[in-house]
Chain A
Amino acid sequence: TQLLEQSPQFLSIQEGENLTVYCNSSSVFSSLQWYRQEPGEGPVLLVTVVTGGEVKKLKRLTFQFGDARKDSSLHITAAQPGDTGLYLCAGGLPDFNKFYFGSGTKLNVKP
């Protein structure tokens, strides 16, 4: 059972389109991180969200942490081919004192 469910699993869009990736759980997280991973490389941190309802912007990327700290979303505006990669959400569960990764969203942006 995946504690953090990401959707969609796969996304193929044209350059210039907008997209949103969702990360959902039935559990409350201490914080959530979003990473982007290239094949054969380590996950690279994009952002950490800690406070319920928090919104963070990173250029064309907007991250939101749900009010109840159970879900998060990543919105990309005007996607570019350089955004192609595997997007992973991850967070710590205080009840289990463990850190979990989401199932991942594989994004392909076509020029």
Chain B
Amino acid sequence: AAGVIQSPRHLIKEKRETATLKCYPIPRHDTVYWYQQGPGQDPQFLISFYEKMQSDKGSIPDRFSAQQFSDYHSELNMSSLELGDSALYFCASSLGQGLQETQYFGPGTRLLVL
């Protein structure tokens, strides 16, 4: 079965640079979620989109922005990168945006900011 695809899998950036992470949800899934997971921590919710509209916002810094496109893929844009942004970034998708909907996670993008 098709799963959530994330690219790139690994990314190394310098401080103050920008980065773009991409997420391709499971086919027919209309909701995308972004999470940040620091070392030894549980995933922290950043932002979500339903039918190409932002549906919920978590602890996403103002330096980050995201959008969902007409084909339902999503991109997380990160600017003015800081050392503390180094983390695993996960994208998840679900069919529908209700809290009872199960989220399926991608393999993650490991971002290292030097």
Report A's interface with B, CB cutoff 8 A: 30-31, 33, 35, 40-45, 48, 50, 88, 90-94, 97-104
Closest chain-B Cβ to A58's Cβ sits at a distance in Å of 14
Give the complex CA separation of A30 and B105 in angstroms: 19
Give the complex CA separation of A43 and B88 in angstroms: 11
Q: What residues of A have a CB within 8 angstroms of the CB of B45 in the complex?
A: 98-100
Q: What residues of A have a CB within 8 angstroms of the CB of B4 in the complex?
A: 42
Q: Which residue of B lies closest to A89 (CB)?
A: B42
Closest chain-A Cβ to B100's Cβ sits at a distance in Å of 4
Partner of A40, one of B6, B105, B110: B110
B14 at the interface (CB under 8 A from A): no
Contact B104 A92 (CB under 8 A): no
Partner of B104, one of A45, A88, A94: A45
| Contacts known (A97-B56, A99-B33); A42 close to B105, Cβ less than 8 A | yes
Give the complex CA separation of A42 and B98 in angstroms: 21
Contact B108 A40 (CB under 8 A): yes
Contact B99 A44 (CB under 8 A): no
Contact B102 A48 (CB under 8 A): yes
Give the complex CA separation of A31 and B4 in angstroms: 22
Nearest first, the 8 A-B pairs at minimum CB distance are: A92-B99, A42-B105, A101-B42, A30-B99, A31-B100, A48-B102, A43-B105, A30-B100
Mask for B71-108, Cβ within 8 A of A = 1, else 0? 00000000000000000101010000011101111111
Q: What residues of A have a CB within 8 angstroms of the CB of B92 in the complex?
A: 42
Closest chain-B Cβ to A8's Cβ sits at a distance in Å of 15
A-B contact pairs, 8 of them (CB 8 A): A31-B99, A43-B43, A44-B105, A92-B100, A94-B99, A99-B99, A99-B103, A101-B44
